[in-house]
């Protein structure tokens, strides 16, 4: 185990000097397999790099980590800023490490970037968990596209699982499509909420109820407890109006006060109940299989589109062609064909 304090102090300069040197592939693998957090961190930085040589190396590292058997559980946690995500994750994380589990915390934040210093940010937010030898915290990778951020996070999960982390918590802020992205890489999806002033469903984004395996109303303490219980009833009623989920699970609505560590045990109990049920009925394995296929097809789709829209002729002409469509000079379908034809001409 490495000295925590030391790692924090040196992490920034390590990132800065990273572009100059990487480890040998075997050193990455060896470090990851014995859960050397510094090496794990370096391997994740390799995944996050956009230098071709690093990308190739990262591929091999991921491939070698993939084959390591593990029984990890991936949990997605979302909620708007102010809902208490960090406090909740810290409370849940400490609760789990106390029972001997190893917990990795990752994030998908499409607004993050290295320059904003989110590396220290996350560790400051979860100080207790950051000091815990059985916990590993990694901030959101930065990236130009949400798809890119998603991919890097999905690959980081593979490394963390090879390093022996039992529970992977993936936090997201719910900007744009980031919730759908996280939902497509986790086994259980938890939505944190605050009790509002009635009309609870109004604040819920499209489709979020369909994704949620649990709604957890946080800050259900002191003056807030009565309102939180009312919100719980309203959410429970609303969830009943929805058709049952294909995994056979009825989403639960729980109350927590993460800051007072209240209700955290119940959340974990519920997740365990979910796991038992979905492992028994086969959904757990089936879902992971489907998620893997989704990532294959999604990556292909993204790549095809990226190549198309970065084609020089397409780039040059697309605004004109769309303008012709708006002026009813050309139908949307003929416009599409015109652009497709253009993209092929350049290839030859």
Minimum Å gap between C-beta 311 and its own copies is 11
Q: Which stretch binds its own copies (CB under 8 A): 28-36, 71-79, 94-102, 234-242?
A: 234-242
- The H or E element spanning position 255 is strand 252-255
- Which of 119/253 has CB closer to its own copies? 253
Q: How far apart are CA 92 and CA 90, in angstroms?
A: 6
Contact 179, 154 (CB under 8 A): no
64: alpha, beta or left? (left if phi > 0; alpha if psi -120 to 50): alpha
Greatest CA separation for the chain: 70
Per-residue interface string for the shown chain with its own copies, residues 236-275, x marking contact by CB under 8 A: --x--xxx--------------------------------
Beta-carbon contacts of 276 under 8 Å, excluding residues fewer than 6 positions away, are none
Work out whether the CA dihedral 258, 262, 265, 269 comes out positive or negative. Answer: negative
State yes or no: residue 63 binds its own copies (CB under 8 A): yes
217: alpha, beta or left? (left if phi > 0; alpha if psi -120 to 50): beta
State yes or no: residue 316 binds its own copies (CB under 8 A): no
Q: What is the number of other CB atoms lying within 10 angstroms of the CB of residue 298?
A: 15
State yes or no: residue 304 binds its own copies (CB under 8 A): yes
State yes or no: residue 20 binds its own copies (CB under 8 A): no
Minimum Å gap between C-beta 336 and its own copies is 4
Distance of alpha carbon 332 from the chain centroid: 36
Token pair recorded at residue 319: 């605004």
Minimum Å gap between C-beta 94 and its own copies is 31
* Strand, coil or helix: 135: strand
Minimum Å gap between C-beta 273 and its own copies is 24
Residues 71-100 that bind its own copies (CB under 8 A): none
Token pair recorded at residue 260: 């007072």
Q: Say how many residues make up the chain.
A: 348
Q: Which stretch binds its own copies (CB under 8 A): 13-21, 38-46, 187-195, 317-325?
A: 317-325
State yes or no: residue 300 binds its own copies (CB under 8 A): yes
Minimum Å gap between C-beta 89 and its own copies is 26
Summarize as ranges the residues that interact with its own copies (CB under 8 A).
59, 62-63, 66-67, 151, 154-155, 158, 199, 201-202, 206-207, 210, 238, 241-243, 289, 292-297, 299-301, 303-305, 308, 321-322, 325-326, 328-337, 339-340, 347
């Amino acid at each position: 185990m490495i000295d925590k304090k030391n790692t924090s102090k040196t992490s920034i300069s390590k990132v800065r000097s990273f572009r100059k040197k990487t480890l040998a592939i075997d050193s990455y693998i060896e470090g990851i397999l014995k859960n050397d957090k510094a090496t794990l961190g370096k391997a994740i930085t390799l995944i996050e790099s956009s230098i071709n040589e690093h990308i190739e190396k990262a591929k091999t590292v991921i491939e070698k980590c993939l084959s390591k058997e593990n029984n990890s559980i991936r949990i997605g946690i979302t909620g708007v800023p102010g809902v208490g995500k960090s406090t909740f994750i810290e409370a849940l994380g400490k609760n789990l490490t106390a029972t001997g589990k190893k917990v990795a915390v990752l994030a998908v934040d499409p607004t993050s970037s290295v320059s904003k210093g989110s590396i220290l940010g996350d560790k400051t937010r979860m100080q207790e968990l950051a000091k815990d030898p059985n916990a590993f915290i990694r901030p959101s990778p930065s990236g130009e596209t949400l798809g890119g951020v998603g991919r890097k996070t999905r690959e980081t999960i593979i490394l963390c699982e090879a390093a022996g982390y039992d529970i992977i918590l993936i936090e997201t802020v719910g900007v744009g499509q980031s919730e759908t992205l996280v939902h497509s890489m986790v086994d259980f999806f938890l939505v944190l909420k605050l009790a509002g002033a009635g009309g609870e469903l109004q604040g819920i984004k499209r489709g979020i109820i369909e994704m949620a395996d649990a709604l957890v109303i946080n800050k259900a303490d002191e003056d807030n407890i009565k309102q939180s219980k009312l919100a719980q009833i309203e959410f429970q009623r609303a969830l009943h109006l929805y058709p049952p989920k294909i995994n056979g699970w009825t989403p639960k609505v729980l109350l927590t006060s993460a800051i007072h560590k209240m209700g955290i045990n119940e959340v974990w109990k519920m997740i365990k109940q979910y796991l038992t049920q979905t492992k028994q009925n086969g959904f757990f394995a089936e879902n992971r299989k489907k998620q893997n296929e989704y990532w294959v097809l999604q990556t292909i789709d993204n790549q095809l589109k990226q190549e198309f829209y970065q084609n020089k002729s397409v780039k040059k002409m697309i605004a004109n062609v769309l303008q012709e469509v708006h002026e009813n000079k050309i139908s949307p379908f003929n416009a599409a064909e015109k652009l497709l034809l253009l993209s092929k001409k350049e290839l030859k």
